[in-house]
Amino acid sequence: MLITLEGIDGAGKTTVLEALSDSHPEACTTREPTTSWYGDAVDRSISSPDSDSLAELFLFIADHADHLSRVVEPALDAGELVISDRYVDSRIAYQGAALNGEVPRPMEYIRGIHTAFTRMPDATIYYDIDPETGAERAGATNKLEHADFLADVHENYERLIDRDPQRFHRIDATRSPEAVIDATEDVLESLL
């Protein structure tokens, strides 16, 4: 089973993944962008305020393709539970916001690219937090972490949830880390 953790920056996904790594040592816990050289290229791009949004999308997609073939698919083939901090929905939500006005219907464009090669998650846990709190928690250290941008991303996540409500499980991420982790464990128990 492939379970993804999604939400805007500052929602606490990384903290949850660390806790799940401890409580589910049998699972393959992973993240995007990865620590591969593809992921390093993504990190360099998002740290640059003047990087091209379309080029950046394809860096994210290259990182995802490598992650899928090197980590996700082998683990799933071995019968492991895979839990990923960010996955396809992040690209649709974030790059959909970044490409708004640059390509027609950016969310559909990005979804279409992935359709040819990706494996969609069996379930997605969505950590819901308002953009202002998310930006404050994240520290606004790069162009993708500012409240105005995160507001657009938040709207895109809501569109994704409306499109596939059975896959998404919403958790209120404004609560304490312990409460969010407990809620995540409850969702996992119901899924597994």
Among candidate residues 75, 163, 149, 153, the one with its CA nearest the CA of residue 119: 75
151 marked ligand binding residue: no
**DSSP line for 169-183:** EEEETTS-HHHHHHH
Which pair of structure tokens corresponds to residue 116? 């040819």
143 marked ligand binding residue: no
11 marked ligand binding residue: yes
- Amino acid type, 3: I
Among candidate residues 75, 69, 82, 76, the one with its CA nearest the CA of residue 30: 82
R_g of the chain, CA atoms, integer Å: 16
Q: Write down how long the chain is.
A: 192
152 marked ligand binding residue: no
* HSE-CB of 11 using CA atoms within 13 angstroms: 26
96 marked ligand binding residue: no
Report angle CA 118, 119, 124 to the nearest 5 degrees. Answer: 120
116 marked ligand binding residue: no
14 marked ligand binding residue: yes
30 marked ligand binding residue: no
Query: How far is the C-alpha of 141 from the C-alpha of 162, rounded, in Å?
Result: 30
Count other C-beta atoms under 10 Å from residue 140's C-beta.
17
Q: Which amino acids are annotated as binding site for ATP, given as ranges? A: 7-14
